[in-house]
Chains A and B, each alone.
Chain A
């Protein structure tokens, strides 16, 4: 099912949670709404589900305005952040709920309900726990019950609010892959909200980066990671060094690399001298004798697939993070306190006025 969000605005008193938001989700797509808390992503998801009314704008399902349809008529499965399982019902009854409350003329027989619920429970690998209560389940199991319950009404659209937020790292990884398979197998159109960039980049077909109720950038995980549209996206997707620099004649030089400054967020690159910030990813910094900038190694983290260094660089307030392959790290024989030289391989420069906070 295609979902069109058109120019949606939502206010809570004087606070604007979502401002003029427009997004098209194609059938079969898995889209992530990524942003810090307070960026309006959950509010937007709730508006799409019909749990919240937009003040302006519309949400269309396959071209039909959803405004007239109640929450229950949209065939939208919603998975809540804290699962919102019915505490006083067993796992079986939780999943059966949507089937039992269907209008009499559409309601299935008890036998059919039983068959459907048990097949959903075996899909989420919980068929042996059907008689348990939510309080007797682990976080990951509760999450899967919530999913099975949402899927019971055969939704065309699946909406998930921070679906893995409360789970530990290992369970999160497993559930992520499992959710991706489920989405593909069932031919769903899904939107999920997250503040975890890794989750969004790994799981989604497209990532919508949100800030203060509006879109900063929409693109595939590759696009948003490789070519962030704004300084905000750079900082939010993490793993980037922000280096203060001076823009002269529309460009700046960072550690031997000349970079053209870019105008964003209405902040135009001035013709003369102006303060700016250079963004450089940890893996875009090279350590080599004869490098353009002197630095001192302050910290080494060599466990894992890549080595992480923190360098002290004159003129940079924070420590600069560098990522090296294991092999390169061992070849360099680095130790803490050693003086080295670095060169930037790639960076982007924005005027200081466009940079948040």
Chain B
């Protein structure tokens, strides 16, 4: 009884609740659902054949391949880095720990354009070590390595941010138990730590991958927009759009939107099925 009354005291009247609900739904419909619907209707606006042509012409194919390649390098790199960093932060005490946590958050607080510029200033022709790279015939800016670097930078918090709270919450007791039973560091990691974080890790990989494939700002600065060579899918969409080739732009965009939907569904499944094994706080 007391609980019901307490609940009633903090609950608004049905009218207010309905109004708030409708407002939220309208907002979501207008700003989220409608644009996605538009992307797909525009993409298929000139028929299926045109759609297939638009996504299979050589430049589009090159963009898709490059996007997949970049993600295939950036995501594993950030998995290794993310797991290593969270392992160190959650399971050990060392000087500079909070500084490291702040550094990991840096890409979230810096505009992606600036992230890209940093690399241009570092590796570009007039950059810090650009002349040296030129002499040795190493091309980073306006080439694939630059795109990969910028993508890694922008996406590196995802795995670590997901794993740090999860691993901190799990503590070190199971690892200590494994060590006391004679397991080596590697055995402890593979047999105890990794199985305990696998769903959280998958969740982080999912978000990391979505961002790696969708990143625009940082990649745009370092890519140089060379068609067929340094254009990722988001950059390709922009070029097509600027050329008023809207159906083709939407066709490629629909692939990215589709990826987003797949990510969303996989994320929802993970949260629903393994929610208790994920970190308590999500972004």
CB <8 Å contact, A78 and B180 = yes
CB-CB < 8 A to B178: which residues of A?
86, 97, 101
**What is the minimal beta-carbon distance from B11 to any residue of chain A, in angstroms?**
34
The answer to whether B173 has its CB under 8 Å from any CB of chain A is yes
Smallest CB-CB A-B distances: 8 pairs: A98-B181, A72-B182, A84-B173, A101-B183, A84-B177, A78-B180, A88-B195, A71-B179
Q: Given the complex of chains A and B, what is the CA–CA distance between A51 and B181 in angstroms?
A: 12
Whether B17 is near chain A, meaning CB under 8 Å from some CB there, is no
Interface residues of B in 138-195 (CB under 8 A from A): 173-174, 176-184, 187, 191-192, 195
Q: Which residues of A contact B41 (CB under 8 A)?
A: none
B181 near A153 (CB under 8 angstroms)? yes
Asked whether A84 and B174 contact (CB < 8 A) given A97-B191, A101-B187, A101-B191, the answer is yes
Known: A86-B192, A87-B196, A88-B196. A101 touches B181 (CB 8 A): yes
A-B contact pairs, 22 of them (CB 8 A): A51-B176, A51-B179, A71-B176, A71-B180, A72-B180, A72-B181, A72-B183, A77-B180, A78-B180, A80-B177, A82-B173, A84-B173, A84-B174, A84-B176, A85-B177, A86-B177, A86-B178, A87-B174, A88-B196, A97-B181, A98-B183, A153-B182
Q: Which residues of A contact B (CB under 8 A)?
A: 49-51, 70-73, 76-78, 80, 82, 84-88, 97-98, 101-102, 149-150, 152-153
Return chain B residues, CB-CB under 8 Å to A51: 176, 179-180
User: Which chain B positions have C-beta within 8 A of A97?
Assistant: 178, 181, 183, 191
Please tell me if the beta carbons of A76 and B182 are within 8 angstroms of each other in the complex. no
The answer to whether A149 and B195 have CB atoms under 8 Å apart is no
Would you call B180 and A102 a contact (CB within 8 A)?
no
Which residues from B are CB-within-8-Å of A73? 182
**Which among B173, B176, B178, B182 has the highest number of chain A CB atoms within 10 Å?**
B182
A101 closest partner in B (C-beta): B183
> Range of interface residues on chain B?
10 to 19
Measured CA separation A88–B200 after assembly (Å): 14
| Residues of B in contact with A (beta carbons under 8 Å apart) | 173-174, 176-184, 187, 191-192, 195-196
- Shortest CB-to-CB span from B69 to chain A, Å, is 34
Complex: A161 Cα to B74 Cα, angstroms: 44
Q: How far is the CB of A229 from chain B (nearest CB, A)?
A: 33
Q: Which residue of B lies closest to A81 (CB)?
A: B173
Majority DSSP secondary structure for residues of B touching A? helix
How near does chain A come to B188, taking the closest CB pair, in angstroms?
8
The chain A residue with its CB closest to the CB of B175 is: A84
- Residues of A contacting B196 in the complex (Cβ-Cβ under 8 angstroms): 87-88
Inter-chain CA distance A241–B176, complex, in Å, is 42
Determine if B184 and A78 form an interchain contact, defined as CB atoms under 8 angstroms apart: no
How many whole Å from A140's CB to the nearest CB in chain B?
A: 19
Docked CA distance A102–B36 (Å): 55
In the docked arrangement, what's the CA distance between A70 and B188, Å? 14
In the complex the two chains form, is B180's CB within 8 Å of A49's CB?
A: yes
The smallest beta-carbon distance between A134 and chain B, in angstroms, is 10
Q: Which A residues touch B191, using CB under 8 A?
A: 86, 97, 101
Distance in Å from the Cβ of B194 to the closest Cβ of chain A?
10
Bound Cα distance from A187 to B187, whole angstroms: 30
Q: In the complex, what distance in Å separates the CA atom of A40 from the CA atom of B162?
A: 34
Q: How far is the CA of A50 from the CA of B177 in the complex (A)?
A: 12
Q: Using Cβ atoms and an 8 Å threshold, which residues of chain A touch B173?
A: 80, 82, 84
Q: Is the CB of B182 within 8 A of A102?
A: yes
Distance, CA A149 to CA B192, complexed state (A)? 15
Given contacts A101-B182, A101-B184, contact A78 B174 (CB under 8 A): no
B176 neighbours in A (Cβ, 8 Å): 51, 71, 78, 80, 84
- The answer for the CA separation of A167 and B19 in the assembled complex, in Å, is 50
- The distance in angstroms between the C-alpha atoms of A87 and B191, with both chains bound, is 11
Assuming the contacts A80-B173, A87-B174, A101-B187, asked whether A72 and B195 have C-beta atoms less than 8 A apart, the reply is no
Q: How far is the CB of B98 from chain A (nearest CB, A)?
A: 15
Q: Contact at B179–A149, with CB atoms within 8 Å?
A: no
Chain A residue numbers with a CB within 8 Å of B177 are 78, 80, 84-86, 149
A97 CA / B179 CA spacing, docked (Å):
11
* Interchain CA distance A94-B177 in the complex, whole Å: 10
Indicate the member of B173, B177, B195 with the most A CB atoms within 10 Å: B177
Q: Which residues of B contact A82 (CB under 8 A)?
A: 173
What residue in chain A is nearest B180 (Cβ atoms)? A78
Give B195's nearest chain A residue, CB to CB: A88
Question: B182 is contacted by which of A49, A84, A98 (Cβ under 8 Å)?
Answer: A98
Nearest chain A residue, comparing its CB with the CB of B173 = A84
Given contacts A72-B181, A101-B184, 5 further A-B contacts (CB under 8 A): A49-B180, A80-B173, A84-B176, A101-B178, A152-B181
A79–B192 alpha-carbon span in the complex (Å): 17
Q: Hey, which chain B residues are within 8 Å of A153, CB to CB?
A: 181-182
Report Cα–Cα, A152/B191, bound state, in Å. 17
Q: Within the assembled complex, what's the spacing in Å between the Cα atoms of A72 and B192?
A: 16
B163 vs chain A, min Cβ distance (A)? 16
With a CB–CB cut-off of 8 A, which chain B residues contact A50? 180
* A149-B174 contact in complex given A87-B196, A101-B191, C-beta closer than 8 Å: no
